[in-house]
């Protein structure tokens, strides 16, 4: 089976669906590979590198005509040299894999179906645990978030990190990241690595811990509505929530130096989160990097594909950030395709399995028919009533209460279950108190107190430094303190056991107190 890698014809696209290293991996899977001449020019790979990797070289017409599988980055478009749409070049029964954007390209889907070709959209690979290796969107978003910070640093006229010099003190830059998805988290990591103070906002409350774990501050609204949609994406919020959100952004715009926006809703125009007035209120020299520029932009001033300056603020609306890291992005994108082809059976047994939970959601045309959108899964059918409820709430202009994730009956059942366990434990304790000998009760008291104190000691350790070793040593120290206190209270006489009890309490106290002091000092090293 032959795989064809045509040259990307979009004017700003420097990536390719395969680097020479990816060609080698495709060969190991059992595929023959043919590459159009000049494919690697944007990545500074010459044709000889592909030939050395085992690929045959051909012209555009030859690649499209001779290949069973076509790998592309961008969706098919009108070929300027051949004078025909790339979708019309597909052979009957051939397979196309690329970023196809089926929701916005119905005409292209019809062309592919008419040609009798199958097509898999890499941007429709489900974002599930099993499909992580094939998640090309996340791989690209990670690079985009990193590159956004690099572009911001290039245009920002100051240091990112704070410095104390003989001349003066330089305060660290303040960065606001809007949207804490893959791109947003990558931007947070890069900005923190450069020494900036980072804040982040997202409509999905579950990302707050991820943001804080990377050393950034998570901005929260005092508003009861969740923005979690299906598939790991955000959903469209209500009017009241958006008004509160815009007020927060207006306040932050006056305080921060750099804003990186990543807010997108699949299949929609990017929401405008920063108005022209907010841009005007920013400090001179500030920078906005709009990663949603290709879909209209999150900033009212953004011009897709351009860097503009308004009111002394640089607004970066570049849409070719991935092409500025063409080698790296092409390698990662090609790797996701290799994993997908492995999932489909490799070179010897490749097939389109309509029952495969990764392949079917991404299959947009097959056997002369448009197969997108895919049929709903069982999980999606369960989530649909919740989505309908959210849509009704979104039309209400008043405060929106979050929809309960569990029914009242389930909450009541859980409460009764907890009370039942507590009653059973109390009955067992009463039975032991009335029937068990005094010596057993004493040992049981020591055991329960030791477990409770040990658990409290472990629980109060800062989670960032909570290691298994620290858990064990602090738990043991808690038990030792309880044992030593019981030895001291055993009687007025001073003996070896009493002395050992005093020593045990003293040493264990030093261990616990020292652990907390060391923890605090280590954490202070990372505070700004």
| DSSP track, 18-31 | --HHHHHHHHHTT-
Which residue among 2, 37, 101, 127 is the active-site one? Answer: 127
Q: Tell the residue number behind the tokens 């704070």, with chain if given.
A: 162
Paired tokens of 243: 């008004």
Selection from 261, 266, 243 nearest residue 299 by Cα: 261
Residues near 361 by beta carbon (within 8 Å), at least 6 away in sequence: 124, 125, 126, 374, 377
First-to-last C-alpha distance (Å) of the chain: 57
Handedness of CA 62, 68, 71, 72 (dihedral sign): positive
74 is catalytic: no
Kindly report the backbone phi and psi dihedral angles of residue 414, in degrees, each rounded to the nearest multiple of 5, phi listed first.
-65, -40
Coil, helix or strand at residue 523: helix
Tell me the pairing of strands 169-170 and 163-164: antiparallel
Nearest-angstrom CA–CA distance, 406 and 73: 42
Which residue among 58, 118, 138, 487 is the active-site one? Answer: 138
Give kind and range of the element (H or E) at residue 423. Answer: helix 408-435
Paired tokens of 224: 């009861």
Kindly report the backbone phi and psi dihedral angles of residue 15, in degrees, each rounded to the nearest multiple of 5, phi listed first.
-75, 170
Residues near 490 by beta carbon (within 8 Å), at least 6 away in sequence: 497, 498
Handedness of CA 128, 133, 136, 138 (dihedral sign): positive
Which residue among 37, 46, 59, 233 is the active-site one? Answer: 233
Kindly report the backbone phi and psi dihedral angles of residue 367, in degrees, each rounded to the nearest multiple of 5, phi listed first.
55, 45
Nearest-angstrom CA–CA distance, 201 and 67: 46
Nearest-angstrom CA–CA distance, 386 and 15: 40
Q: Are 87 and 115 within 8 A, CB to CB?
A: yes
Residues near 130 by beta carbon (within 8 Å), at least 6 away in sequence: 357, 358
Which residue among 135, 202, 290, 390 is the active-site one? Answer: 135
48 is catalytic: no
50 is catalytic: no
Between the alpha carbon of residue 82 and those of residues 4, 64, 77, 284, the distances in Å are 17, 11, 11, 49
CA atoms within 13 A on the CB side of 143: 18
Coil, helix or strand at residue 34: strand
233 is catalytic: yes
Nearest-angstrom CA–CA distance, 380 and 377: 5
Which residue among 48, 104, 132, 418 is the active-site one? Answer: 132
The residues that are catalytic are: 127, 132, 135, 138, 233
């Amino acid at each position: 089976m032959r795989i064809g890698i045509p040259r990307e014809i979009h004017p700003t696209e420097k990536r390719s669906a395969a680097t020479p290293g990816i060609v080698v991996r495709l060969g190991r899977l059992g595929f023959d590979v043919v590459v159009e001449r000049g494919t690697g020019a944007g990545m500074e790979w010459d044709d000889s590198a592909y030939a050395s990797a085992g690929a045959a070289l051909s012209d555009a017409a030859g690649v499209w005509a001779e290949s069973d599988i076509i790998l592309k980055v961008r969706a098919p478009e009108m070929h300027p040299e051949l004078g025909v749409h790339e979708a019309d070049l597909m052979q009957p029964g051939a397979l196309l894999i690329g970023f196809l954007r089926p929701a916005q390209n119905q005409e292209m889907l019809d062309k592919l179906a008419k040609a009798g070709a199958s097509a898999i959209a890499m941007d429709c690979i489900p974002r599930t645990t099993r499909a992580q290796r094939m998640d090309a969107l996340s791989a690209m978003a990670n690079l985009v978030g990193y590159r956004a910070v690099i572009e911001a640093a290039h245009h920002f006229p100051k240091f990112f990190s704070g410095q104390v010099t003989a001349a003066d003190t330089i305060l660290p830059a303040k960065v606001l990241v809007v949207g804490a998805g893959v791109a947003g988290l990558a931007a947070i990591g890069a900005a923190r690595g450069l020494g900036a103070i980072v804040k982040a906002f997202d409509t999905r409350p579950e990302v707050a811990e991820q943001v804080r774990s990377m050393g950034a501050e998570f901005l929260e609204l005092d508003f009861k509505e969740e923005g979690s949609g299906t598939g790991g994406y955000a959903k469209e919020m209500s009017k009241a929530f958006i008004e509160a959100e815009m007020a927060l952004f207006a306040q932050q715009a006056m305080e921060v130096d750099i804003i990186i926006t990543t807010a997108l809703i699949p299949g929609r125009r990017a929401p405008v989160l920063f108005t022209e007035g907010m841009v005007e209120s920013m400090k001179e020299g500030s920078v906005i990097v709009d990663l949603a520029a290709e879909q209209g932009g999150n900033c009212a001033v953004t011009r897709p594909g351009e860097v503009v300056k308004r009111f002394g603020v640089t607004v970066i609306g570049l849409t070719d950030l991935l092409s500025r890291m063409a080698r790296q992005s092409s390698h990662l994108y090609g790797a996701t395709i290799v994993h997908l082809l492995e999932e489909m059976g490799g070179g010897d047994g490749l097939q389109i399995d309509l029952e495969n939970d990764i392949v079917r959601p991404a299959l947009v045309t097959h056997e002369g028919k448009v197969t997108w959108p895919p049929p709903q899964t069982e999980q999606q059918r369960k989530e649909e009533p919740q989505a309908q409820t959210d849509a009704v709430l979104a039309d209400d202009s008043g405060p929106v209460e979050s929809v309960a994730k569990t029914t009242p009956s389930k909450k009541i059942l859980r409460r009764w279950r907890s009370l039942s366990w507590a009653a059973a434990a109390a009955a067992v304790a009463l039975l032991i108190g009335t029937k068990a000998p005094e010596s057993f009760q004493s040992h049981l008291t020591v055991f329960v107190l030791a477990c409770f104190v040990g658990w409290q000691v472990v629980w109060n350790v800062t989670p960032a430094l909570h290691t298994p070793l620290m858990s064990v040593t602090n738990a043991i120290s808690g038990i030792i303190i309880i044992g030593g206190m019981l030895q001291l209270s055993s009687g007025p006489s001073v003996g070896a056991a009493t002395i050992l009890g005093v020593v045990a309490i003293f040493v264990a106290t030093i261990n616990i107190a020292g652990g907390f002091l060391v923890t605090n000092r280590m954490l202070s090293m990372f505070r700004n």
